[in-house]
Amino acid sequence: MGVYPVMGNGNSLHSGSSLDYPQGVQLQITTTNQTINIRNLPSDSYLMVFDASGRNVFKGAVSQSVSIPVRGKGVYIIRAQVGKEILSQKVLVHN
């Protein structure tokens, strides 16, 4: 099991890797038992997670960390608004 963020060059990161974004934001994304875990979110973050069909599976204001249950394996899009920045990451969930 794991989440493998897909980067623009087609490569992927191993589950538990950190992703660096502008302004020093470093998100850690992992999965366990059909749950997406996101850590190191700034306190002013608003998060949305979509499945491959575009259905919103989570949205809300979060700070520090959040665990999001997902229905199964597949591609999910994580969209985080941090201050004025909007960060997006595609992840592949393996069961």
pLDDT in tens, 26-85: 778 887 778 888 888 888 889 999 999 999 999 999 988 999 999 888 889 999 888 788
How many Å apart are CA 21 and CA 27, to the nearest integer? 8
Assess contact for 45 and 94: CB atoms under 8 A: no
State the DSSP code for 32.
Answer: S
Residue 20: its pLDDT value, please?
55
What are the phi and psi torsion angles at 21 (to 5°)? -125, 170
Torsion of CA 4, 7, 13, 15, to 10 degrees: -30
Q: What is the mean pLDDT of residues 5-20?
A: 45
Is-contact 59 51, C-beta < 8 A? no
